């Protein structure tokens, strides 16, 4: 009988990713960044799935690799941009949770600049409007007839 404690291994624990697997995922990220310096949530999800399923990397290792390559390529991840834009909207909203048209356009310009012009202005407006709705911010009436038409017209 041995006095050494028995070591149980976790069958779900993943070993450290190989350098080759990390390079493959890094190359996939670079391919996504070939034409643009922006990774949408959908693209990030597909990259993470590739790392986990095809390259047998852990989710944490895959995420770290995607983030590292995006940072080194001066690219923006949409999830990070959404957090930043949400913070900006929080700062622009008044005490009643309302956002003026001018402040909305500031948020749109911020978002569009961070996407490096990858997305069309109308798409950015839709995304910022969605962020406003998620945070329960309301548009301020503006214009000659003091309406919210400027906000409702964003499809």
Same domain for 82 and 36: no
91 and 49 housed in the same domain: no
Average pLDDT over residues 122-146: 89
Query: How many other β-carbons are positioned within 10 Å of the β-carbon of residue 148?
Result: 14
How many domains does the chain fold into? 2
Residue 34 lies in a domain: yes
pLDDT tens digits, 100-118 = 999 999 999 999 999 888 8
For residue 130, being part of any structural domain is answered with yes
pLDDT over 50 (residue 11): no
Between 63 and 36, the more confident residue is 63
**What mean pLDDT is predicted for residues 2-18?**
53
CA distance 90 to 95: 10
Q: What is the pLDDT of residues 43-53, one digit of tens each?
A: 999 999 999 99
Same domain? 64 vs 89: no
Residue 120 lies in a domain: yes
Residue 122 falls within a domain, yes or no? yes
55 backbone dihedrals φ, ψ, rounded to 5°: -105, 0
Do both 82 and 126 map to the same domain?
yes
Buried b (16+ CB within 10 A) or exposed e, 100-133: beebbebbbebbbebbeebbeeeebbebbbebbe
Per the domain annotation, does 31 fall within a domain?
A: yes
pLDDT more than 70, % of the chain: 88
Name the more confident of 36 and 108: 108
Taking only Cα atoms into account, the Rg of the chain, rounded to an integer number of angstroms, comes to 22
Domain match, 128 and 148 both: yes
> Span 117-138, mean pLDDT?
93
Q: Which domain holds residue 67?
A: 19-74
Whether 56 and 114 share a structural domain: no
């Amino acid at each position: 009988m041995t006095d050494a404690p028995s070591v149980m291994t976790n069958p779900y624990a993943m070993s450290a990713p190989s350098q080759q697997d990390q390079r493959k995922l890094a190359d996939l990220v670079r391919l996504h960044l070939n034409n643009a310096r922006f990774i949408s949530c959908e693209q990030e999800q597909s990259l993470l799935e590739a790392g986990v399923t095809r390259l047998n990397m852990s989710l944490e290792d895959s995420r770290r690799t995607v983030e590292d390559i995006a940072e080194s390529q001066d690219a923006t991840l949409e999830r990070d941009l959404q957090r930043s834009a949400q913070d900006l909207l929080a700062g622009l909203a008044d005490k009643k949770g309302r956002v003026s048209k001018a402040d909305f356009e500031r948020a749109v310009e911020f978002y569009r600049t961070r996407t490096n012009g990858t997305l069309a202005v109308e798409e950015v407006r839709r995304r910022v409007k969605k962020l406003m709705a998620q945070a329960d911010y309301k548009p301020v009436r503006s214009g000659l007839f003091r309406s919210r038409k400027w906000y409702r017209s964003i499809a």
